[in-house]
Chain A
């Protein structure tokens, strides 16, 4: 009787424990890898949508400046933009490095200086755009997401903004965006640069 029971096949408690332990260890490692992969995927997805946004902002600026005219670069020491006359956005102004650019939009009215488009970088590193005056705070729309911080405080340069005999250069606008993208404590630097030549003939 006793020998019969002993001869029964099956797992001993030790075998079962070992197999369960192994199973748990492998599953834990697998879950960890899976969660990590998911996290990584989310990070790269976030990164991509932010890069898309950055690309959009750059494209928006360069496209509108290309088709615009009458550029006014707001200089380092100029006061904050509060109205069309402060600083005088209607006057063409060249610069090596400015923190804002105002210009006549492609379909704007040249005699109306209250419909200039304005792009600027504020002191927290966000890009803002206004498409019409009065240029009060509420007129500006934030273009970049909070994850993007532009560290180049003076990203614009304008060459040959004037018109006529005093100026013999087709306007050329340089844009340099240097900054960082921060997603969940991961900081990715970027540095994009382009120049645009005004399409409208400078006469």
Chain B
């Protein structure tokens, strides 16, 4: 009896103490792990964002190139070139649902090839995903190529006066559990009198 009584007074950790200690330890461990993994994730994010921003810039450049080619080389008049440029964009619903530019049939070798021969295509709902050709390393819209995470949408907003148009190129992608967008925009003017 006396022996048992003594035993009850033996020192040690209670269950609660142990649980508290373990939970504090694991909480600090989790915090460290979270910092580490967010570091890795943000490095990956940087890489994807870099790719996305250049693709977004490309969307703007296509439209800009179309503007210049139309205005410079329209056989009737430069003003007509600007008007045709606008008609093409609105015809492809660029100002409503957004459109995309498929440069697949652009023949870089041909002297007679002009970007004006290509019409932007209306997205009609969500824009198609960009495809990637692993042989040449080209992003485009060929259905035989492999899928990418990127979607590029070009939209335009005509500015009052008719001599200015705002072009917005949005590249969106999902990575991990988040979805991200990279938005570039540029105002194009009718630079001919």
| Structural contact, A197 and B61, CB atoms closer than 8 A | yes
Q: Which of B85-114 contact A (CB under 8 A)?
A: 103, 106-114
Contacts of A168 in B (CB 8 A): 69, 72-73, 112, 114
Contacts of A201 in B (CB 8 A): 68, 72
In the complex, B77 has a CB within 8 A of chain A:
no
Contact of A169 among B36, B46, B54, B115 (CB under 8 A): B115
In the complex, B50 has a CB within 8 A of chain A:
yes
| Structural contact, A159 and B113, CB atoms closer than 8 A | yes
Give how many A residues have a beta carbon under 8 Å from the other chain's beta carbons: 47
In the complex, B139 has a CB within 8 A of chain A:
yes
Contact of B106 among A51, A159, A190, A196 (CB under 8 A): A159
| Structural contact, A48 and B68, CB atoms closer than 8 A | no
Q: Which of B47-67 contact A (CB under 8 A)?
A: 47, 50-51, 54-55, 57-58, 61-62, 64-65
CB distance from B192 to the nearest CB of A (A): 10
Contacts of A192 in B (CB 8 A): 50-51, 54
In whole angstroms, what is the CA distance A29 to B112 when docked? 68
Contacts of A190 in B (CB 8 A): 47, 51
Contacts of A176 in B (CB 8 A): 136-138
Give how many B residues have a beta carbon under 8 Å from the other chain's beta carbons: 37
| Structural contact, A193 and B61, CB atoms closer than 8 A | no
In the complex, B82 has a CB within 8 A of chain A:
no
Contacts of B72 in A (CB 8 A): 168, 170, 201-203
CB distance from A100 to the nearest CB of B (A): 15
With A195-B61, A203-B72 as known contacts, state yes or no: A159 contacts B115, CB within 8 Å. Answer: yes
| Structural contact, B109 and A51, CB atoms closer than 8 A | no
Q: At the interface with chain B, which of A90-98, A114-122, A127-135, A139-147?
A: A90-98
**Chain A residue nearest to B63 in the complex (CB):** A197
With A94-B109, A194-B58 as known contacts, state yes or no: A40 contacts B65, CB within 8 Å. Answer: no
In whole angstroms, what is the CA distance A192 to B32 when docked? 33
In the complex, A44 has a CB within 8 A of chain B:
yes
| Structural contact, A44 and B136, CB atoms closer than 8 A | no
* Complex interface bits, A45-70 against B, C-beta within 8 A gives 1, otherwise 0: 00110010011001000100000000
CB distance from B53 to the nearest CB of A (A): 9
CB distance from A23 to the nearest CB of B (A): 14
25 A-B contact pairs sorted by A residue (CB < 8 Å): A37-B36, A40-B36, A40-B39, A44-B43, A47-B43, A47-B47, A51-B47, A51-B50, A54-B50, A97-B136, A155-B137, A159-B108, A160-B114, A160-B115, A166-B111, A168-B72, A169-B115, A170-B72, A176-B136, A176-B138, A191-B51, A193-B137, A195-B62, A195-B65, A202-B68
Q: Which residues of B contact A (CB under 8 A)?
A: 32, 36, 39-40, 43, 46-47, 50-51, 54-55, 57-58, 61-62, 64-65, 68-69, 72-73, 103, 106-115, 132, 136-139
